[in-house]
Structures are given as structure tokens and as C-alpha cells.
Amino acid sequence: MRSRYDVIVVGAGHAGTEAAAASARLGASTLLLTPDLARTGQMSCNPAIGGVAKGVVAREVDALGGIMGRATDASRIHFRMLNRSRGPAVWGPRAQCDRGLYPRAVRRLLDGTEGLDLFQDLVTELLPADAGLHGVRTRGGIEFEAGAVVVTAGTFLRGRIHVGGAAGVAAGRAGEAPSLELAEALEARGLEVRRFKTGTPPRVDGRTVDFTRVEEQPGDPVNFRFSYYHEEPALEQRPCWITWTGAELNQVVHRNLERSALYGGEISGRGPRYCPSIEDKIVRFPEARRHQVFLEPEGLETSELYVNGLSTSLPHEVQLEFLRTVPGLEEVRMTKAGYAIEYDFFPPHQLRHTLEVRGLRGLFFAGQINGTTGYEEAAGQGLVAGANAALRVQDRDPWVLGRDQAYIGVMIDDLVTKGVDEPYRLFTSRAEFRLLLRQDNADRRLGVMARDLGLLTSEQAGALDRRLGRVRRVTRWFQETALRPEDVRATLAEADSSAVTTSTRAGELLKRPGVSARALAEAGGAPFLGSEDSGLEDVLAAVEVELKYEGYVRREAERAEVLKEQAAFELAEDLPYADFKSLSFEAREKLGRIRPGSLAQAGRIPGVSPADLQNLVMEVRRLAAAGV
Amino acid sequence: MTRIDTIAATSTAPGPGAVAVLRMSGNAAHAIASGLIESGGLPGAGRSAVRWLRDPARGERLDQAVVTVYAGPRSYTGEDLVELSGHGGPLAPQLLLEACLAGGARLAEPGEFTRRAYLNGKLDLVQAEAVLDLVEGRSPALHRAALNHLDRRLSMRLTDLRARVVGLEALLVQHIDFPDEDEPPVPLERIIDAGAAVVADLEQLLATAPEGELLRDGAVTVLAGPPNSGKSTLFNALLGAERAIVTPVPGTTRDAIEARVAIGGYPFLLVDTAGIRSEADEVERMGIEVAERYLAGADLILLCMDPEDGVHDIALTDLVGSISAPVIPLLTKSDLRQSSGRSLPALAGLDGVLPPIDVSAHTGHGLDELVAALPRLVFSGLVTASADVVLLTRRRHRHGVNTALAEVRAFGQALADGVPAEVASTHLRPAETALEGLLGVIQQDEVLDAVFREFCIGK
Ligand SMILES: Cc1cc2nc3c(=O)[nH]c(=O)nc-3n(C[C@H](O)[C@H](O)[C@H](O)COP(=O)(O)OP(=O)(O)OC[C@H]3O[C@@H](n4cnc5c(N)ncnc54)[C@H](O)[C@@H]3O)c2cc1C
Ligand SMILES: Nc1nc2c(ncn2[C@@H]2O[C@H](COP(=O)(O)OP(=O)(O)OP(=O)(O)O)[C@@H](O)[C@H]2O)c(=O)[nH]1
Ligand SMILES: [Mg+2]
């Protein structure tokens, strides 16, 4: 007798842990399988969460009741709000975490999730689906069955690590075995497989760094939390350091270029352009005299430092040689060598927006195996896949996030619509509604939806209510409170803005360039200023964008409405695109391959023109009329 | 490969002619043509050969023709295509066409070959429109503009402009998406300047629209004036044909008559109208109303007056005062008088009234001067521009460029007003979309490509 669950999640990385937690929160009995429970939620690369766009995703995951935000708050040892010099619309919270504490927090939150079982074993086989039930078999020969399976195997599928020009070693991460049988089992199901690569830089012993020769980069003193609903105790904070590479490093790299796995031709998979190795940077931008290097702490109880900016697949002795050309690192000892890893992924046009594999009902994919990179991207997908797996088993409607609702929605739509030709990472430029998708308002965008779906605990739902009430109150204060000229004289003068002669509403003054919401609230003695917590920061940021740039925000919202109308025009999955002769050949071919779910999605497929869309509407109507 | 039905049509104009070309496109084009060939078989792709064609059913010879074979996608339509150049005349082309239809092709709808070329990505929308303009071929100037469009000159301008709008977004995003990189943010002035350059180019393009559109529509040139002043005679003279009835009786022309004519290489739509006067019978009254409507929509007015006729009707002066198009007073029937016409005190002070010209439709006196003046007045920009100037020739073009212009301008204004880049950039996507819509092609999102090309990213 095999043990039976509603949902099985394979892999306990950032996708798998969110998938398992979301599924269990929806009330599905859930099993999380992973070869090494001690590495649950492990950070394979830099122990940092967030950044521009990625930080928004971490908060979206939190707004949806996920664990990433809380785990980050609980393990954060350095924090900066990126783009703080710009408007709050593009602020990107980024935290450096303690590599050991982050997974511990993840594990604590998983253990506190009702209906979730963890089991340590490697999945080696996917058993043929039988009467709607999927089965998996582990290396230990144990079988489990479930109505839905979420696969989140990360970089482990036929993973191969390269250091130097040698042929490479089979591995899922440094020191961990790859997942070979599962890769084969999935390929045997008829799925298209391709290879990508990524890399990681060396780590060094902080006790051997000359800190007098590097520049300290302190964290922001702000009162910020990723989580909207919970307050984790704060840890002691650590600085990062900045140093620069110079001509000498270029020479070392050039001299050894053919010994790089990348340039020696050992690696064929494509890597991300935004995360190039130092070899890449030097070859592609030969005129750049220096490159920035960040030294980032790996934890509170270790002196190990992550050398951000020097990702490489050169042999370890070359790594040490070039490290020692960098100011501050002249005497450095390397603790871990950098490496490149190649792995299988499944081109994501094979998925639906729920991350269910097309044609394989009940099988879901999330994370790196969909061609993405990054913890946040993995977590966002995991949450969507896990929730939809549970909904599938419960026979409930699927749940899909729109491009106007969340960066997670942008990402998944990009993945299934456009596919990937390099590891996919989120950027603000991928979103057409940048002003709507902000880090301060993910709870307002997604909270109610999450609550109604069942993703929030009652405690979280209560916190959500309080937050929504607060935004309303503060917004109303700005809209209704008239400030006296003498009260705002200093504030306006500081912003180089002309003085007012009559009492003027705060919201009106906020529209002026350089005048901040906080300054006006202080000038007007706003009652909500008393409690200085992270929630207040969010609210002030929201008011600042939404009132100051009201016209722009409204315009984006209007464009989002147009998109929604197109999204409401559904396209059946079995449309005979090949017969739609009023469409261009390219459009017929692409539509037939991607099989978009809506007109809006069809319109985002490169090669499908506005004229094709119009004709598509006609063809679909004609078909419907003929069917009657 | 998907099933594509095969279309056929005679591409040359019907009627007597040495050669008629039949074109056939679609999956079965090669097979159908091959079925007509008596011997020697279908030439290879990209080749032509002379073949006897016969009706496969009755075995009867149809014609001898040059058979040219193209294989998709390397053909005009992007599909398999065959051209049969046979003999012209009333019968031969028709027989060939019927044989192709009997072989399984279907008669092409008007413009369907070009439509397929567009749908198969062989032409963009602007090029496809140009093909239609070339076929209609109204004037040498439009022909020139259409050739430029077919040569992708306008398409390339639009593609380039769109790429530069994307580039603006890339300049902004470089530092928004990669704030911790080696590269410092792009200075705001550089972005504002780049935006201003795009605005200037869009404006320049837009400025060609009024004349460009007239190239397709023809400049509406209305002959107006008192009855019996010689309007219809002049109309006929400019056309070189007796289109309008001429009599010595005032009030002869009752309705408006339109005629297309190329003058100095530029297209005009000449309109002869009823003479305008205050006492008129009812039919004539209606004719006058029509004339007034034409005057309101005119690009140019030729105000015909016989100076010997004495006082000008007061209604006329009022009318001229209320219209916006330029007016050339023509002092007609110059052969009937010795000296040049008098000055026209009633009209002289009015805006847009040009110096009068003495003309005689009978002797041709002054007509050269008039014909030379017409293109310069309506197409002044084009007359002085070089032959390869790129024009907007359709309202669709003007509308798209105008939208893009308004957005990019608003973007620059917002940046100058201190609106943060990420907010101001809300204007850029609609601009891109407008330009894309003109070409009828959606392009891959290249903002990130542009960033990675230009900046060293990746810490
Ligand atoms: C060397 C390296 C460098 C990287 N560099 C960067 C970077 O610079 N920037 C960046 O954003 N991201 C980087 N990443 C990516 C980031 O680590 C991943 O995107 C993220 O961890 C993906 O999460 P995931 O949940 O999809 O997979 P993972 O975090 O890889 O988790 C996969 C999980 O699945 C388990 N598993 C695998 N096979 C099986 C099986 N058969 N049965 C059961 N369990 C299984 C594994 O044990 C693991 O727990 C890098 C990753 C690596 C390995
Ligand atoms: N001598 C001379 N007679 C002209 C000339 N042009 C027109 N006429 C005569 O003037 C008379 C009126 O000419 P139309 O061309 O019919 O005048 P119109 O302005 O069209 O008149 P309505 O249609 O009645 O308004 C005819 O008898 C013409 O032969 C000219 O250049 N020289
Ligand atoms: Mg007349």
C-alpha cells in the first residue's frame, strides 16, 4: 500500500518550500520530498533576498501568505532599499541574510504549517498516472501517490559543475548529487528539454581581508520588514564592502582564458547576460578599466565573505591569483572556489499559466526547471504551482495572476508566452505597469484575493484588515486636511517650491515636485505619525506615488483595464490555428505552438501583429457561429 | 506546413496588349501549372522557360507562354508562386485563367496577392499600402512616394524611431534595474536630449503629412466665380478634354463636376461649379449650395472673373472672406481686352488672396503661368524637396506618428518638470505601440537587449 497525499512536492528549494506551504494552507494534505532535509530552503548562491523587482516579488509572496518574506526578516544581517534616491515606484528592498539562519527560519515556518509532511528521499521515478493519481518512487524504493505533483528540482536535473577547463563533474550544487533519473523520467514523458548554465563566485576568509583598503558600505538605517503581516525579531546588522578590479586582474584572466570552462568550450548551455562571469565582462567590455566588487557577509557567526561580481569558471588556482590582484584581497585566503553549473530545464511554453504541464494533468513545474534564475522567481512560481495543485485536487477553479496584478503574473505570463532563451530574471522593465506593481502595496494588490482563496491564516487576515484600514485613513488625511500657510512654509521652502497664501490641502501640495509625504505629515502634525513601524513607511510611499502622480497611475490603470478586456476574450486550447488563413503564417505557427488562453496573451507573442489579433477575433467568432 | 489555398488572377489589365501575365500563388500553384504544361515540365524554382500550355481535360492548346517558378518563402507572396506570361488580348488570358481555376485554384480577390505578402511577412503594412498606390498610379509624385515606401524608406524611418523610443526606456532603466552596477546613471540631460531628438524627427515626418496625403487624394482645386465667367471653359482647357458644357448663357453649370488631373506631375482634383450670384432660380440655388460646400473643403480656389463684366457680386466677396484655402483670382477672357486686368479692390485686402493672373482659355494666354503656379502653391514642400524625401501619405500614418509624437513630447516635458524617470516613462510604451501599429508588426521586447548591448551589467 503506497501512502497517499493530495499533493506531492518534489524538492525543498525556494520553489518547493513555497509550493508545499501554499498547498497545505489551502487544506490539501501535502508531502514535501527532498534528498537532504537539512538543506531545506538552502541558498545555493549569494545569501541575499530581494533587489529591484525581485524585492517586490519577495513581498508579493508574503502578501500571498508565503514564507520567503518572514524567513528573510528573521535572518537579515544587512539591508538596503535600492533606488531610494528615486521615487518609491521603483524602490527595491534587498537583504543580505545569514546563510545558516535563513533555511532554519524556512524550516521553522514549514514545521508550523498544518497538513504538511516532510520526508527525506530523492525521487527517482514518476509512476504512470493511474485513475487520476500520480505516483512517485524514491531512491529508497518507497512509493507515494497524490492527485497532483509539483516538481521543483532546481539546478539538479543532470546538473554538471565546471571549474577550469576540465570536463566537469556531475552535481546538483557544489557537494550535492545531481538528479539523473528524474530528468530522464520527465524527458520520457515527451517533454522538450534544454540546457542552461549559471555560475557562482569564490568565497574568501574575511580574516585575511585588509579592510583598510576597501570601502565600507553600511546598511540603511530604515525600519523595514519584508513581511506585511508578521514581525520577526531583528538581528544585529553587518556592513558590506566595496573594492574594484584593475588592469592586473584583466591580464590574469586574459592569460588563462582558454582554461575557463566557458571559453574552453566545455559549456554549451546559455547563461544569463545580467549575471556574467568575470571572463565575460572582460571579453565583452575590454575598454572597462575596472569592475566593482562587493564583499558581502555570509553570516553572523562566520567570517566568510561572498565576492559579488567575480563569478567565474576558471581553475581555482587562477581564481586565487586574480583575487589577490584586488585591493584589500592581496593576502586573501579562498574558502570556496567559484564554479559554473549546467543543468536541464523544460522550456516553459509547455506550461499553462497555472504552471501545470500541458497535456499532463496534475503535473506542475516551478522554479529553476522552468528556465528562471533566482530565489524570488522560484518562490513566486512555487506558490502559484502549489496553490493550483491543491485547487486541481479540490476541483476548484484555477488561480492565475495578471500582469497588472503582480510581478509574479508578469513572470509567469512571460514564461509561458514568450519562452526563454537565457535564464529568466525579473526586471522592472519587464512590467508594463511599473507604477502599479510596487513593493509597498503588494498586500493591497493581492491580500484580499489570497484571503478569499484561503491562503492566509486568520492572524494574517486580521493584519491585512488593519493595514488596509490604515492606508485608507492616511490617504483620507492627505485628501482632506488643509494645511495652513505658516505650517508648510518651511517644508515648501526646502523643496524650492513657492509658498502658499491660503490653507491648502496636503494632497494638493504633495503634487509639487520635491515635496514629500512625510514632510507634509510632519508639518501638519498628522495623527498617524505616532507609531513608527515598517507599515507606516509603506503607507507613506503609497500615498506619495498615488497622489503625487495620480494622472500617471490612472493612465496605467486604464491601460490595465484594456488588457483585462482582452484577457476576458478567452481562446480555447484546441483552436484550429492552422486553418485560420486570415492570420499570417508566422502567427498561425506561433499561436498553434503556444496556444494562448486569451486574446491579451496572444497579443504578447512576438510575431503576432495587431492585424492578426483582429483577424483572430473574426475567425473565432466565425467558428462559434458555424458551431451553432 | 499548413494548407494554403491557391489563388489565381490575370495581373495585367484586360484588353488588347502583347503580353498578359497570370499569377498563381499557394500550395498547389506548382502542381496546377505543371498540369497545364504540354512537355518539358515545370522549370526549377527561380527559373523561367517557354512552354506550350494545353487544357488538360480536352488536350487542346491554350497558349505559348513564359513560365516562371518561385518557391515559397522566396516569392512575392511568400508562398509557392507561378507566373505565366502569355499573349494578351481578350481571349488568351481568359482561357489560361479558366484552366487554372479548373485545376483547383480560386479567383483571387482584389489585392489578395499583396495581402498574402503582408500576412506572410514579405511586406510590412506601409509597403503593402505602397503597392496599392503604385497600382493606382495617379501622378508621378505619388508614384515616387510609393516607390520610396516600397523600398522600406518609411518603414526604416519608423523602425528606427521605434528603436530610439525603446532606447529612451533603456537609458532610464539601466540605472533603475541595475542600481548597484559599475555604470553611473545616465545623466538626465542625455535622456532629455535623446527624447528631444526623437521629437524633432517625428515632427519632421509629421510635417510631410498634409502634402503627402494630398498626393493620394489630389489637391481639391475649385473653379468658382460669377456665372458665365468662363469657369467651365477653363476647366476643359486644364483637363485637355471637353468635360463640361460651355454656353454663352449664364447659369449653364448647375452641379459640380470633378475630374482628376496631373498638373506639373502633381495630382489635382479639379472641380467645376455653378456660378455664384444672388438672384437665381431654385435649381441654380442648389447648385450654388453645392459650390459653397466644395469651397469650404477646397485646398485651392481659382476664382474666375471676367473684368469686362463689371461690378462683382457682393455674395462672392463675402464667400471668399469666409474660406481658408488660398485663392487665385483669374481674370478670364484676356483675349477680349487690350490691357491687363484691373486691380481688385474688393478682394485685395483679404487674407490668402494671391495676385491675380490674366488668362484666356481660348488663346491659352496665362495658362502656363497658372499651371506652373498650382503645384508650387499646394505642394510647396515637395516641389523643393529632394526626390527621395520620405512622406506620410495616409491618415493612418499621420495618426500613428501624431500619437507617438504627443507621447514622446509629454515624456520630455515630464522629465523637464522633475517627474521621476520611472513615472515619466509611462509615456514611452504607448509611443512604441503607435509606431509598431503603423508597421503592423509587433516586435520582441528589446529594452533589456538595449541595456545589455550598451552597458556592462553584472556584479
Ligand atoms: C552555482 C549557482 C549559482 C547561482 N547563481 C545565481 C545568481 O547569481 N543569481 C541568482 O539570482 N540566482 C542564482 N542561482 C539560482 C538560485 O540558486 C536558484 O534560482 C534558486 O535556488 C532556484 O530555486 P528552486 O527552488 O527552483 O531550486 P533549488 O533551490 O535548486 O532547489 C531544488 C531542490 O530540489 C531538490 N531536488 C532535486 N532533485 C530532486 C529529486 N529528484 N527528488 C527530490 N528532491 C530533489 C534539491 O535537493 C533542492 O532541495 C544560482 C544557483 C547555483 C546552483
Ligand atoms: N473670348 C473668350 N470667351 C470665353 C473665354 N472663356 C469662356 N468664354 C466664353 O464665355 C462664355 C461662358 O463660358 P462658360 O465656360 O460656360 O462660363 P461658366 O463660368 O462656366 O458659366 P456658368 O456655368 O453659367 O456659371 C462662353 O460663351 C465661352 O465661350 C475666353 O477665354 N475667351
Ligand atoms: Mg459652367
Report the C-alpha gap between B307 and B293 in whole angstroms: 25
Residues of A (261-280) whose Cβ lies below 8 Å from B: 273-276, 280
Which residue is it, cell 504578447?
A604
Answer whether CATH 3.40.50.720 is correct for domain A4-197+343-453: no
The pLDDT, as a whole number, for residue B56 is 86
Fold classification of A568-625 is DNA polymerase; domain 1 (1.10.150)
Identify the DSSP state of A157.
B
Q: Which ligand is nearest to the CA of A51?
A: 1
Query: Cβ separation of B422 and A435 shorter than 8 Å?
Result: yes
Q: How confident is the model at residue A238 (pLDDT cuts 50, 70, 90)?
A: very high
Residue A31 region, left (φ>0) first, then alpha (ψ -120 to 50), else beta?
beta
The pLDDT, as a whole number, for residue B278 is 67
The pLDDT, as a whole number, for residue B458 is 46
Amino acid (one-letter) located at A552: Y
Q: Which ligand is nearest to the CA of A306?
A: 1
> What spacing in Å lies between the alpha carbon of B188 and ligand 3's midpoint?
64
Element (H, E) at A323: helix A316-323
Task: Answer whether B235 touches A (CB < 8 Å).
Answer: no
pLDDT tens track for B71-95: 988 999 889 999 999 998 878 888 9
Task: Report the pLDDT averaged over residues B149-156.
Answer: 88
Report the C-alpha gap between B59 and B38 in whole angstroms: 9
CA distances from residue A239 to A78, A267, A298, B115 in whole angstroms, order as listed: 6, 36, 11, 63
Report the CATH number of the A458-554 domain: 1.10.10.1800
A4-197+343-453 and A203-339 have identical folds = no
Fold classification of A203-339 is Elongation Factor Tu (Ef-tu); domain 3 (2.40.30)
Query: Cβ separation of B173 and A427 shorter than 8 Å?
Result: yes
> What spacing in Å lies between the alpha carbon of A578 and ligand 2's midpoint?
65
pLDDT tens track for A139-175: 999 999 999 999 999 999 999 988 876 677 888 887 8
What percentage of chain B carries pLDDT values higher than 70?
A: 88
Task: Report the pLDDT averaged over residues B143-147.
Answer: 85
Write the burial class of residue B421 (CB in 10 Å: 0-12 exposed, 13-18 middle, 19+ buried): buried
The pLDDT, as a whole number, for residue B343 is 60
> What spacing in Å lies between the alpha carbon of B376 and ligand 3's midpoint?
26
Q: How confident is the model at residue A119 (pLDDT cuts 50, 70, 90)?
A: very high
Element (H, E) at B431: helix B428-439
Q: Which residues of B touch A430 (CB under 8 A)?
A: 445, 448
Which residue is it, cell 503580353?
B19
Task: Report the pLDDT averaged over residues B41-52.
Answer: 94
pLDDT tens track for A384-412: 999 999 999 999 999 999 999 999 999 99
- Indicate the pTM of the whole model: 0.84
Task: Report the pLDDT averaged over residues B418-422.
Answer: 89
Residues with CB under 5 A from ligand 3 (ion): B 231-232, 252-253
Task: Report the pLDDT averaged over residues A292-298.
Answer: 93
String of DSSP letters for A6-21: EEEEE--SHHHHHHHH
Q: For residue A584, what is the nearest residue in chain B, using CA coordinates? A: B119
Q: For residue B170, what is the nearest residue in chain A, using CA coordinates? A: A429
| B292: pLDDT strictly greater than 60 | yes
Q: What are residue A231's DSSP bridge partners?
A: none
pLDDT tens track for B103-116: 999 998 877 888 88
Task: Report the pLDDT averaged over residues A97-102.
Answer: 96
The pLDDT, as a whole number, for residue A606 is 75
| Residues shown for chain B | 459
Alpha carbon of residue B76 to chain centroid: 22
Which set of grid coordinates corresponds to residue A106?
Answer: 524556512
| B444: pLDDT strictly greater than 80 | no
The pLDDT, as a whole number, for residue B315 is 58
Q: Contacts for A522-531 with beta carbons within 8 Å, 24 or more apart?
A: A522/A491, A523/A483, A523/A487, A523/A488, A523/A490, A523/A491, A524/A477, A524/A481, A524/A483, A524/A487, A524/A488, A526/A474, A526/A477, A526/A481, A527/A477, A528/A470, A528/A473, A528/A474, A528/A477
| B281: pLDDT strictly greater than 90 | no
Q: Whose CA is nearest to atom 32 of ligand 2?
A: B333
The pLDDT, as a whole number, for residue B2 is 40
Task: Answer whether B419 touches A (CB < 8 Å).
Answer: yes
ipTM score above 0.90:
no
Name the average pLDDT for chain B: 84
**Measuring CA to CA, which residue among B8, B166, B10, B2 is closest to residue B91?**
B10
Q: How confident is the model at residue B459 (pLDDT cuts 50, 70, 90)?
A: very low
End-to-end CA distance of chain B: 45
Q: Which ligand is nearest to the CA of B307?
A: 2
Task: Report the pLDDT averaged over residues A115-132.
Answer: 89
Q: What are residue A135's DSSP bridge partners?
A: A127, A145
pLDDT tens track for B317-374: 666 777 788 889 899 998 988 776 556 666 666 777 888 899 999 999 999 999 999 9
Residue of A244, A411, A556, A584 to mutate, interface with B, max B Cβ within 10 Å: A584
The pLDDT, as a whole number, for residue A1 is 41
Report which of residues A110 and B434 the model is more confident about.
A110
Task: Answer whether A582 touches B (CB < 8 Å).
Answer: yes
Amino acid (one-letter) located at A82: L
pLDDT tens track for B180-217: 777 778 888 999 999 999 999 999 999 999 888 888 88
Beta strands in B42-135 (DSSP E): 48-54, 61-70, 81-87, 106-107
Domain residue extents for chain A: 4-197+343-453, 203-339, 458-554, 568-625
Q: CB-based contacts of A140: which residues, under 8 Å, 6+ apart? A: A121
Residues of B (190-209) whose Cβ lies below 8 Å from A: none
Q: Which residues of B touch A545 (CB under 8 A)?
A: 423
Residue of A609, A616, A619 to mutate, interface with B, max B Cβ within 10 Å: A609
Closest approach of A286 to chain B, Cα-based (Å): 10
Which set of grid coordinates corresponds to residue B335?
Answer: 483675349
CB of A378 within 6 A of ligand 1: the answer is yes
End-to-end CA distance of chain A: 49
Query: Cβ separation of B444 and A549 shorter than 8 Å?
Result: no
CB of B231 within 6 A of ligand 2: the answer is yes
What structural domains and CATH numbers belong to chain B? 7-124 (3.30.1360.120), 130-208+392-440 (1.20.120.430), 214-383 (3.40.50.300)
pLDDT tens track for A50-80: 999 999 999 999 999 999 999 999 999 999 9
Of B177, B437, B451, the CB nearest to A610: B437
**Measuring CA to CA, which residue among B346, B358, B366, B352 is closest to residue B323?**
B352
